[in-house]
Structure 1
Amino acid sequence: MAALPDVVPMPGLPEAVTIYEVGPRDGLQAEKAIVDTPTKIEFIRRLRETGLTAIEATSFVSPRWVPQLADAAEVLAGIGEHEGVRHPVLVPNQRGMDRALAAAATEIAIFVSATERFARENLATTVDGAIELAVPVVDRARQAGIGVRGYVSMCFGDPWEGRVPIAQVVDVVRRLADLGVGTISLGDTIGVATPGHVRALLAALDEAGIGMDRIALHFHDTYGGALANVLSGLQSGVTEYDAAAGGLGGCPFARSATGNLATEDLVWMLTGLGVRTGVDLDRLLAISTWMAGRLGRPAPSRVVQALAAS
């Protein structure tokens, strides 16, 4: 049984948070070697036994762009439904939405960029173009009674454009909110965010009338600041955080993007703060160790590494 941190709460933090697990999609999409479909299905099945309630299963992106996720329909069919667990899928456009609906998806996520260069590199369009592409997808989802989540990439810095003005991010988030997107996840795609920057962006969103109940945070740990940024988000009232089991992933279309914040590292810190997650750390550690073995390398998660050595 894993050691747990002493629980020493900090005043003013939320009592509980939702961890939105992105390992099976965002984590695996960057892997160069194709992970077989049965392994992906087993990964998700094991993850949902940890207490995670939101596990992003796959993406209906073009197999030409992301060959790793060419088996999206097979994965979604293979995992089936599980009481109390959502299995969102990423949908890039109407063609992807067609495939997602045919595969009986019950929740989708769309993605746009806060910067023009990344919109061109990742989506082959502009910021305006990406939002225009999202409009019919969101409309169809709402007509079908399917929940919609939104991702905004490059909210804190762009490898080509450098600094990203806060007002620019607020504008994109507001436009997604106006479309009827439920939760909007702010992506620190290359891991350059700092706690003050996080707080300033969240304050600007709040001032623009976008409440923290509509916001999730998605940090990468490129410069080791992901957990500090989570704490800043907690202090601002955000209660949903994206993370990947074992610290898998990164964006294959962004230079300088390294792994996602590890779910274990996030659970460890939140446990020490007395913030409830509902996630069983022991089971999570076992799953990440298992997946690391399948991938043939150690898990980047610092908690996995520390507890494996203890």
Structure 2
Amino acid sequence: MAFPDPALPARVRIHEVGPRDGLQNEAAAVPVEIKAEFIRRLAATGLDTVEATSFVHPRWVPQLGDAERLMELLAQAGLPAGLRLPVLVPNRRGLERALALGVREVAVFGSVTESFARANLNRSVDESLAIFEPVVARAKEAGMRVRGYLSMCFGDPWEGAVPVARVAGAGRRLLDLGCDELSLGDTIGVATPGHVGALLTALGEAGVDAARTAVHFHDTYGQALANTLTALRHGVTTVDASAGGLGGCPYAKSATGNLATEDLVWMLHGLGIETGVDLGRLTATSVWMAAHLGRPSPSRTVRALAGTPSHQES
């Protein structure tokens, strides 16, 4: 039963990150055919955006070293018309690889903090933005949509709490480069609702429209849903989530799983918010992937809805 709240948006777009952010930290290689089938099943749930992979050098993220082959398989998979399949590109070379395969949406990945920028990109924050500028410009020239990820927006394992003014300034800079959308990452899962509200208020004061803002929460302290609800009350209508709660971050060992898409959908549907997602199909997809990974899903909703062997698919 749904209990709508007029203070919340009528519809939320879920930006599914399971195939990229969810799988990138898996120690055991996931066969490319399984990744393609995972994306096909996710698309069949009604999700309209599924972030497929990253065109980063395989040395840095070996799990995603099959990006070209994956995109080739997806081109043959008969996916729904209009499905958005963005990919992450770390630099101009990654962008050109994506362009050669006909990719229409890309994302760049920056950091608010110097420590994480060094750990993740081996560059300072300013140096990273300087590298992104020609990447974004080239993507826009090619008619691509560009998302800008901003990590460590709430806390950093080396630097601690991150000032909201610094995040607002970095977010404004990414949009000024030409990004169409800004995704705010709680990379280590330390955000709380009050902090989320303060940051979104600061971003608004910096001229960043909530309509161009997405939130990307990790559930380290069990705050991801509460944080998401706060973001919705501040006008955000795009939420990143990972099917089955898969994910972490290879450069931040304290980062736990992403907000589970099933947990998000359960909350949104209970609030009468449209998502276009079939929760039963989504749950079955996460159970299927969990079987391939050899462990149960951490999502509470998946466990509740698919807790018996009869619900599991082979």
What is the match of residue 59 of structure 2?
64
Structure 1 residue 267: Cα displacement? 0.1
What is the match of residue 31 of structure 1?
26
Question: Normalising by the residue count of structure 1, what TM-score does the alignment of the two structures yield?
Answer: 0.97
Taking the aligned partners of 1:139 and 1:157, their CA distance within structure 2 comes to 30
What is the match of residue 205 of structure 1?
203
Q: Deviations over 1:249-274 (max 9, x none)?
A: 01111021000000000000000011
SS in 2 for 1:309: coil
Taking the aligned partners of 1:98 and 1:186, their CA distance within structure 2 comes to 26
Taking the aligned partners of 2:122 and 2:81, their CA distance within structure 1 comes to 38
Taking the aligned partners of 2:84 and 2:6, their CA distance within structure 1 comes to 31
Q: 1:157 aligns with which of 135, 155, 180?
A: 155
Structure 1 residue 206: Cα displacement? 0.6
Question: Normalising by the residue count of structure 2, what TM-score does the alignment of the two structures yield?
Answer: 0.96
What is the match of residue 53 of structure 1?
48
What is the match of residue 131 of structure 1?
129
Q: Deviations over 1:39-96 (max 9, x none)?
A: 0000001110111000000000010000000000111111125312100000001111
Conserved? CA contact 2:283–2:306, under 8 Å? no
SS in 2 for 1:257: coil
Is the deviation greater in 171-180 or in 112-121? 171-180
SS in 1 for 2:306: helix
Q: 1:19 aligns with which of 14, 18, 33?
A: 14
Conserved? CA contact 2:47–2:276, under 8 Å? yes
What is the match of residue 104 of structure 2?
106
Q: Deviations over 1:194-213 (max 9, x none)?
A: 00100100001111111101
SS in 2 for 1:92: coil
Q: 1:259 aligns with which of 238, 257, 270?
A: 257
Is the deviation greater in 206-215 or in 74-83? 74-83
Q: What is the percent sequence identity of the aligned residues? A: 63
Alignment of 1:134-283 (within 5 A): 134-283=132-281
Structure 2 unaligned spans of 5+: 309-314
SS in 2 for 1:45: helix
Taking the aligned partners of 2:135 and 2:168, their CA distance within structure 1 comes to 22
Structure 1 residue 308: Cα displacement? 2.3
What is the match of residue 3 of structure 1?
none
Structure 1 unaligned spans of 5+: 1-5
Conserved? CA contact 2:54–2:87, under 8 Å? yes
Structure 1 residue 180: Cα displacement? 1.2
Letter in 2 for 1:8: F
Q: Would you say how many aligned residue pairs link Structure 1 and Structure 2?
A: 305
Taking the aligned partners of 2:136 and 2:200, their CA distance within structure 1 comes to 24
SS in 2 for 1:108: strand
